[in-house]
Structure 1
């Protein structure tokens, strides 16, 4: 356990707030003005972590925040005991004073695991399974095209965007390319006529076994698994996951069938050999980063379980 004085942890908290604010504040400004952004809004509208929660700093497991009364109201925090503070190197007199004031706060690992134990086990399983698999680099982003298939009959999800190749051209790309999507939360948005064109039929029940580390959407979801583990996960790891998801979202939409040049995004033409090669080159880098982030998240969970199992008597 590591104690941090307020003058140590508060600047870190402010740095995180600025880092998160670079992404969250423009979204909030657009939302207040009733405007949409087809690429940048996604991580705040599809995922459920609210911008205010996103900007809140968390130190993670193994840290005691000294002089931190504001964390008393945060879920899954508790005051440190004098015994815990002394074990962390705080002198006995101050440890006793901090215990009485209740202003030394730490993540309540036991309460988190007791409340969310089944979710933690699922998360650890899907992260570990996915990180251990080889990636499949032959999908070329066709999931987005399958979501826009037969738009002349179905309409399209992004109703304010035009299709780069038009409806007929988009249909031809779907019909002339292999579709092998393993991610249920992409597959469930396929247009009805595209469902049977997918070589796989992923389900929610099979998700933990079907995810693989080349999938853009599975790698964006690493951010989801990270925020679902707050406050066990520290905010630096959360932001590393978010920033990877942000970059992946840009690739996902550049390779999608939509015309986004007016928004500042040059297309990656995955309907061509050159576009496919460019897509895979970027995809491989994202896959490598996602595996490392999954391993870091698994370590957080393993450390939390160890801490919970070996925690000293509080009193």
Structure 2
């Protein structure tokens, strides 16, 4: 036996229907990027989901049911990473050996997800991480090929006039040298679970990363749910940034002016709404981790 836990058994019709539904959703969410890439076009907001995050569009297009599901003999999954054909039945599964190889990843992500979930959402950072990433930089040296709407000097004044409290290491590590010392927190790569909090926009976007890193152990519906959330958060992240989005296609160019009182209120309200959207996805991911760890323990004991 390749799987030591009871499985859900799908027939050919189930597989075909779920695959078609997934591919149609992929086309809506990911298809525009794939078309732009084929034409050699870049997008300064949306491409972040495929440059900063490492999952390839083609891999996202593959539908995975998750560990514990048995697919029909001859399913294309047999040739994909993480699957095997059961010699006793000819059916295709994610084997327990693959799960065992990812035990550390599942355990680490479970700890991070539950630790984040237990904390209250902090909505007072106002997206200053993007501003701190360009502090002290000339206009032409910034991270994105967009102008700074307040210019370099105006951007620096915003950074220096605010209390910066970035809890997310993967944002903090991109702060410029001059801005790093202005952050009131010192998150590091090894202590993410001690800092991550559910109000952080990047913690919400990173649910997508956690989900695809667990693939094919988790179902693809969850991965695309997290992708959709990340795509929406990314727009707010850039609208509240120091960049001028005028002329960027498909994005509301109106800035969230976090340097003003009204802008701060707008940002905090949107941040709280995204935290509420992220919460059930975080719980679903954590529940998957718990199921996987339980399945791994059962397999190890047999």
Is 1:54 aligned with 2:65?
Answer: no
Is the 2:107–2:293 Cα contact (8 Å) retained in structure 1? no
Deviates more, 1:68-77 or 1:304-313: 304-313
Conserved in 2, the CA contact under 8 Å of 1:222 and 1:241? yes
Q: Return the alpha-carbon distance in structure 2 between the equivalents of residues 280 and 231 of structure 1.
A: 35
Alignment of 1:250-261 (within 5 A): 250-261=235-246
| Conserved? CA contact 1:254–1:267, under 8 Å | yes
* Higher helix proportion (structure 1 or 2): 1
Deviation at 1:112, TM superposition (A): 2.4
Name the count of aligned residue pairs: 293
**Highest Rg: 1 or 2?**
1
Matching residue within 279, 283, 290 for 1:295: 283
Aligned to 1:235: 220
1:92 aligned partner: none
* CA distance in structure 2 between the aligned counterparts of 1:60 and 1:149, rounded to whole angstroms: 43
1:267 to 248, 255, 262: 255
Secondary structure, aligned partner of 1:214: coil
Matching residue of 1:96:
none
Structure 2 segments unaligned to the other structure (5+ residues): 1-6
- Aligned-partner SS, 1:206: helix
- The TM-score normalised by the length of structure 2 is 0.91
Aligned positions of 1:98-137 closer than 5 A:
99=89, 102=90, 104-108=91-95, 110-137=96-123
Deviations 1:131-165 (CA, angstroms, capped at 9, x unpaired): 1111111100000111121222882111x211111
Q: CA deviation at 1:67?
A: 3.9
The residue that corresponds to 1:93 in the other structure is none
Match in the other structure for 1:246: 231
**TM (normalized to structure 1)?**
0.88
Within 5 A, what are the aligned runs for 1:136-155? 136-152=122-138, 155=141
C-alpha distance in structure 2 between counterparts of 1:248 and 1:12, whole Å: 27
> In 2 relative to 1, CA 285–153 (structure 1 residues): closer, same or farther, beyond 3 Å?
closer
Superposed CA offset, 1:12-38 (max 9, x none)? 111111212223222222223322101
1:165 to 139, 147, 150: 150
Matches within 5 A, 1:215-234: 215-234=200-219
Tell me which residue corresponds to 2:70: 64
Structure 1 residue runs of 5 or longer lacking an equivalent are 83-98
Aligned-partner Cα distance in 2 for 1:205–1:51: 29
User: Distance in 2 between the 1:120 and 1:204 partners?
Assistant: 17
Residue pair 2:139, 2:147 contacting (<8 A) in 1 also:
no
| DSSP-derived class of the 1:205 partner | helix
Deviation at 1:178, TM superposition (A): 1.3
Distance in 2 (CA, whole Å) between partners of 1:45 and 1:292 is 26
CA distance in 2, matches of 1:32, 1:66: 34
For residues 200-249 of structure 1, what are the alpha-carbon distances to aligned partners after superposition, in whole Å with 9 as ceiling and x for unaligned? 12111111211111111111111111011111110111111111111110
The 1-side partners of 2:205 and 2:214 are apart by 15
Between 8-17 and 72-81, report the one with greater CA deviation. Answer: 72-81
Give 1:79 shift.
2.9
